[in-house]
């Protein structure tokens, strides 16, 4: 059984009345068996189960537990240059990277974030030439007084979020499906050919730019240069995101062994 199938046991079920007989096989898993399987799997892959349950929104405690495990892993595996630059602030830096890496791993196509251009207001302040006086045209049609314009700060609809104040994390190329049209193959075969989206790698979610993590770290380490970040910090940050995926895969394998 896939680990995703266990999520339905965390939600309340209403009575379903139909003419279909219920599965009464002795091999069928009930709620008690599923909770036992999850508990056993958690003992074998604690990090992976905590990351998965936190990503699914089942438990806020599991989310914090996964971030703590990831931060401890980051402390153990931090490159020498990273530790040298961070110095006494290494623990705090690793905590920040762990939080951002887990959010990058956990976000889905249905999630949304506050627009960074308008700060969620849907409107931005810009300078425009505003007509303060329309002018005057005489009865003969000639302009007597020219219009007066003045440079003023006005509020306009934010073009980034289209005035909504939020930006969806789904990929703009595949609209969150993870699949996109292969135009070259479609033109060659004269039939639609679907492939994994190249922009999001088939995940359906636009990745958070690493500049967000860079700005968070430079708040503690203002002397950290962009070149040092790209060469030493950024690969380590991306490795933390991959670590969450790996641990979830380990938990999925253990769960399948228990429930097969």
Query: What is the full per-residue pLDDT of the chain (260 aa) written as tens digits?
Result: 788 777 777 765 555 555 555 555 555 666 677 778 788 788 888 898 899 888 888 888 889 999 999 999 999 999 998 888 888 899 999 999 999 999 888 877 666 777 877 888 888 888 988 888 888 887 777 877 888 888 989 899 888 888 888 877 777 778 777 888 888 888 888 888 888 887 777 777 777 778 888 989 998 899 889 999 999 999 999 999 999 999 999 988 988 888 87
Q: Which domains does the chain have, with CATH numbers?
A: 1-7+28-107+209-260 (1.10.274), 112-168 (no CATH), 176-207 (no CATH)
pLDDT at position 99 is 92
For 3-22, letters b (16+ CB in 10 Å) and e give beebeebeeeeeeeeeeeee
pLDDT at position 69 is 93
pLDDT at position 204 is 77
Closest to 112 in 3D by CA, of 73, 68, 51, 162: 162
């Amino acid at each position: 059984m896939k680990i995703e199938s266990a999520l339905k046991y965390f939600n309340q079920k209403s009575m379903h009345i139909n003419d279909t007989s219920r599965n009464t096989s002795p091999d069928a898993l009930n709620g008690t068996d599923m909770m036992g399987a999850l508990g056993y799997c958690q003992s074998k892959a604690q990090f992976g189960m905590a990351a998965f349950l936190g990503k699914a929104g089942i438990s806020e405690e599991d989310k914090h537990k996964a971030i703590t495990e990831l931060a401890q892993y980051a402390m153990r595996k931090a490159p020498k240059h990273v530790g040298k630059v961070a110095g006494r602030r290494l623990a705090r830096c690793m905590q920040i990277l762990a939080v951002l890496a887990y959010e990058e791993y956990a976000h889905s196509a249905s999630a949304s974030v506050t627009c960074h251009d308008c700060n969620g207001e849907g409107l931005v302040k810009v300078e425009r030439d505003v007509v303060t006086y329309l002018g005057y045209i005489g009865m003969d049609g000639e302009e007597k007084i020219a219009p007066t314009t003045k440079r003023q700060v006005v509020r306009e609809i934010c073009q980034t979020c289209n005035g909504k104040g939020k930006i969806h994390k789904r990929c703009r190329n595949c609209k969150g499906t993870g699949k996109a049209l292969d135009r070259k193959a479609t033109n060659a075969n004269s039939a639609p050919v679907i492939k994994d989206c190249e922009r999001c790698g088939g995940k359906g979610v636009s990745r958070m730019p690493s500049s967000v993590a860079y700005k968070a770290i430079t708040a503690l380490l203002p002397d950290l240069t962009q070149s040092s970040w790209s060469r030493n910090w950024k690969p380590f940050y991306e490795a933390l995101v991959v670590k969450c995926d790996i641990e979830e895969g380990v938990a999925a394998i253990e769960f399948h062994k228990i429930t097969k």
